[in-house]
Amino acid sequence: MDIGITRVSSKGQIVIPSSMRDNLSEGEELLIIREGERYILKPLDEFKPALKDDILFAGKTDEAFSEYRKGSFKRKEKDAFLDELASW
């Protein structure tokens, strides 16, 4: 098991120690899972395409609900909504 220490920037960014990112490419997408106090990072490409699509859709849906709860959700016409949904 590799262990490293990093810190979170004011923008919420973290740096993965160089010894742990040998198999990661610049721009590679990582799935982050939070379970209580534990965080798990996994390359998104490890998942089957259908599961990857489901995870991305769930993330977009969660963002939309968060905007709605904050009151910053914008009502859209049906065609505009479907166009945005298709871009997900």
DSSP 30-42: EEEEEETTEEEEE
Enumerate domains of the chain plus CATH numbers: 1-44 (2.10.260), 49-87 (no CATH)
pLDDT (0 to 100) of residue 88: 67
pTM above 0.75, yes or no: no
- Encoded tokens for 65: 């609900």
Q: Convert the pLDDT of each residue in 12-32 to its tens digit.
A: 999 998 888 888 888 888 888
Cα distance between residue 34 and residue 36, in whole Å: 6
Q: How far is CA 45 from the centre of its chain?
A: 13
